[in-house]
Amino acid sequence: MAGFFNAVSACLVLLMIMSLGYIMGKLGWMTAKEKKFVSKYIVNIAVPCNCIVGLLNNLDRDSLAHAGWMLVAGLLGVGITLLISMGAATLLRLPHNRWGVFVAMAGLSNTLFIGIPVCTQLFGEACMPYVMIYYLSNTTFLQSVGILLIERSGTIKKEKTTVAGFLKNMFSKPPILGVMFSIVMLILGLHLPDPLMRFAGYVSDSVSPLALIYCGFIVYEVGLKNLRLLPGHPLMLALRLVVAPMICLGFCLLFGVTGLARDVFVVESALPVVSQVTVMAGAYGADEKYAATGSCLSIFCSFITIPILMLILG
Hey, what long-range contacts does 193-198 have (CB within 8 A, 24 or more apart)? 197/52, 197/53, 197/56
Burial class, 202, CB count within 10 angstroms (exposed 0-12 / middle 13-18 / buried 19+): exposed
User: Please, are residues 53 and 197 in contact by the beta-carbon 8 Å criterion?
Assistant: yes
Q: Where are the beta strands (DSSP E) in 2-104?
A: none
Phi, psi of 269 (to 5 degrees): -75, -15
313/291 Cα distance (integer angstroms):
30
pLDDT at 163: 66
CA distance 250 to 25: 41
pLDDT, position 160: 63
pLDDT of residue 151: 86
Which run of H or of E encompasses 288?
Answer: helix 288-313
* Number of structural domains found in the chain: 1
Q: Which domain holds residue 158?
A: 2-313
- CA-angle at 68, arms to 104 and 75, nearest 5°: 15
What is this structure's pTM? Answer: 0.86
* pLDDT, one tens digit for every residue, the chain (314 residues): 666 778 888 888 888 998 999 999 999 999 989 888 988 898 889 888 988 888 888 777 777 777 888 999 999 999 999 999 999 999 999 998 999 999 999 999 998 888 888 998 899 888 988 998 998 888 888 878 888 888 888 887 666 666 677 677 767 778 888 888 888 888 888 889 999 999 999 998 888 888 889 888 988 988 888 788 889 999 999 999 999 999 999 999 999 999 999 999 999 999 999 888 888 888 788 888 899 899 999 999 998 999 999 888 87
Say how far apart CA 109 and CA 135 lie, in whole Å.
9
Largest Cα separation within the chain, whole Å, is 57
Which domain CATH number covers 169? 1.20.1530
Other residues' Cβ atoms within 10 Å of the Cβ of residue 256: 12
SS3 breakdown of the chain: % helix, strand, coil, rounded to 5? 80, 0, 20
| Helix-helix angle 115-123:259-269, to 10 degrees | 140
Tell me, what's the pLDDT at 56? 86
3-state SS class at 109: strand
